Chains A and B, each alone.
Chain A
């Protein structure tokens, strides 16, 4: 189901992109196994960035059919991330 897909656009091995990637993997353990995560490197696949209209990296895209949402930044604030995406969190975290 596309409703459970999170796509992260990154730019190679830049520091923010690396950070966003590890933050996303940490987040994933909180939101359950039905969520899939896809990583797109804009440097090697610029045409995908073009299709998605990506300006900033990293960008996390939640391609919800009715309410597509995007988060720009390194995803360090996990609480804001899940709130904005409207995802229920399985366990409580501080």
Chain B
């Protein structure tokens, strides 16, 4: 650790052990405290075993710390084959003496428990395994199974587990124990293991909300240390049906700690792809800003996106488009209808277009997909068409987290971002996305149908432009085969932009 502040009076700075779930390590100030016991609780299928094995794998592969896996539930052979899909070759690590497995899974023996006993047999085996591979990390998966094995003697189990935990900690081992939960919210673990055993408690959740799975990780307690509170979303990468090309395997948490929007703002302007809109914005968008284009269906949002991408490519930039409403074919046809050749841009390596059904995966996976493609391509600008389609996927909290993470990611990379949002009503009215992101985006452009006498017109307005002057008027515009044309400002326009108390 660098930069120890002599003035702060911390007698014993806890050494940290990285878990390999990067964003989770950030939540807990760098990792699990060394020589402590952490209980990881979760319902069946919440990812406890994956998390536990990832902790060992990270130690073995990245930290030069060997591990011991004590398995009470699955046989070593089952775990080995289950974990192979994450790229973790437990069998090889065993041969290389970097991992030792203590098989405590149920045997076929008939068994009778009568009279007092202890678990020194188990402790001796763990200690022996630790010695054999000179382990620094130990996983016990899962304690609940052990309790079920000795169902009649919970008091003995508590005493013995405390003894084991204590002995391992004294040997400076960092211990992770998994335990089952019956419910996502409520009692922390069955048998209340955390109460007597854990220095730290971590909860993995797998909640069904609006027919979508939402996985989160939460630090409930971290003895003698600060941690970020709240549930951080995560996804499980790899495993069966995994998409190729992602660098990460196992649990990948979405960073929440880095969500404070405190990025420096650039004063460099980039074109919106339409010179009249650039003018209205005071000279274009800022390079590291995110702009929201909101409007009813057919008002020209996708056209604005097309201009935004084409304008960037014309200026020598690389552009990335994520489409969640229309297919690639549709987007390409639209573009060529406005005189923009997406195909040529892709062939030149200046543009990439990805189309996905919003419902194809959870928001955490969408976010990771975007991040991974941005890392691959290193674009200068990115458009999301539309952000409101993604809102269908997740409930409010999840969507807000997604937006915050995505926006902060885009700004950090100094990429110009453009989101579109479809308002539900044709004239006026706010989209739910607007409410969520009006505070998060730097600029907002509204596209609205405007009624003037007996005719419907299209109107465009720059509602907000952070750090810059912008035109305040509502400009009428038309769309034809060469794109968008801004015309005169409406004079004495009716109050259709914000609803004006009318019902729509």
Residues of A within 8 A of B (CB): 9, 11-12, 14, 16, 19-20, 42-43, 46-47, 49-50, 53-59, 61, 67-77, 80-81, 84
Contact = CB atoms under 8 A, between A and B. Distances in A.
B121 A49 contact: yes
Interface in B424-463: none
A57 B114 contact: no
Interface string B107-130: 111111111111111101101110
A47 B149 CA distance: 22
Contacts of B119: 55-57
A53 B103 contact: yes
A54 B117 CA distance: 12
Nearest to A43: B124
Would you call the interface of chain B mostly helix, strand, loop, or mixed? mixed
A90 B114 CA distance: 23
B121 A69 contact: no
Contacts of A54: 121-122, 125
Contacts of B150: 56
B197 interface: no
Interface residues of B, number: 27
Interface string B147-167: 001100000000000000000
Contact of A57 (B102, B117, B129, B146): B117
Contacts of B104: 53, 55
Contacts of A67: 110
Contacts of A9: 121
Q: Which 5 A-B pairs have the closest CB atoms?
A: A73-B115, A11-B120, A46-B128, A54-B121, A74-B115
Given A49-B124, A56-B117, A72-B114, 17 more contacts: A9-B121, A46-B124, A50-B102, A50-B125, A55-B121, A56-B113, A68-B110, A70-B111, A72-B111, A72-B112, A72-B113, A73-B116, A73-B117, A74-B116, A75-B115, A76-B114, A76-B115
A14 to B, nearest CB: 7
A84 B112 contact: yes
